[in-house]
Chains A and B, each alone.
Chain A
Amino acid sequence: MKKADTFEPLIQTHISEWMREMWEVEAQHPPMIGSRLKFGLPLSPAKPKRAKAKAGKRAAVKA
């Protein structure tokens, strides 16, 4: 497969007026996104049940 190109990062060298303006907006209106109910994640696999013998043993002790 073709190797991916080297990724050149971007670096901030100055802060624009627009950026400063958005900072003020962000301070009052946080940009957080997400919903608690958005994803129904698959259930965790069921845990193995306790051995029946142990339950029987406890019943026997009680008796």
Chain B
Amino acid sequence: MIAQLSIQTPSGPQQVRLEFARMGDDAEMKKWRTPRKHSRPDLAADSIELARLAGKRWRYYLRRNEAATSMDELLEKVGANAKREVGFIIIAKAIGESVSSTLGVAWCRRTWCNHLVLDFLTVHPALNDPVGGYKGMGFGMFIGIAVVAEKLGSHLVWGEATETSCTFYQKLLGGTPVLDHFFFGFEALAALREQLPLRSQFKPKSKP
């Protein structure tokens, strides 16, 4: 597990676990369907398509042994060849009952110079309805990416923003103007990670 966080749903807070996608995890992504009621069916269709494209890319990398399915595997692959490009999917899994067991997907690549490129980020179609009552999954996914970046010693995450998403990334960067690309440097990534403490930081201390 990378992190555990909370998102908002119409029925209250929902706990979500961020993990590296493993073999077979794409099956649930393929089951994503547009809910009967959705105020923006175009966004719902994008969600589904982007998840399928991310899955396709992931499977291609897996076949070539260029994808990692755990943090250890990612570090091992990079440790064996510092200039190796390695891809991975961060998947958000619902803890308990939810609209789907998979709520978010982010396909990332670690580049030859140890930067992270975010090629695909998408959430379940029910979660991207502006009036659906779900909030926070995309933000949570980005925290997961920041956590992995730290573990890799990567000081830059970049990606291509869309017309729809550029405002979100602009706000996430504290107002820095964003058009079709964004760069999250060391400080911006640290600010995201600070939203979550390490498990050991809130565990009761053992007796002396």
Contact = CB atoms under 8 A, between A and B. Distances in A.
Interface string A34-61: 1110110110000000000000000000
Interface in B136-189: 136-139, 141-143, 147, 151, 159-162, 164-169, 171-172
Describe A's contact surface by its main secondary structure.
Answer: loop
Interface residues of B, number: 63
Contacts of A63: none
A10 B122 contact: no
B53 A34 contact: yes
Interface string B104-140: 0001000000000011111100001010001111110
B60 A41 contact: yes
Interface of A: 1-2, 4-5, 7-13, 15-16, 18-19, 21-36, 38-39, 41-42
Interface of B: 1-6, 8, 43, 46-47, 49-50, 53-54, 56-57, 60, 71-72, 75-76, 79-80, 107, 118-123, 128, 130, 134-139, 141-143, 147, 151, 159-162, 164-169, 171-172, 193, 195-200, 202
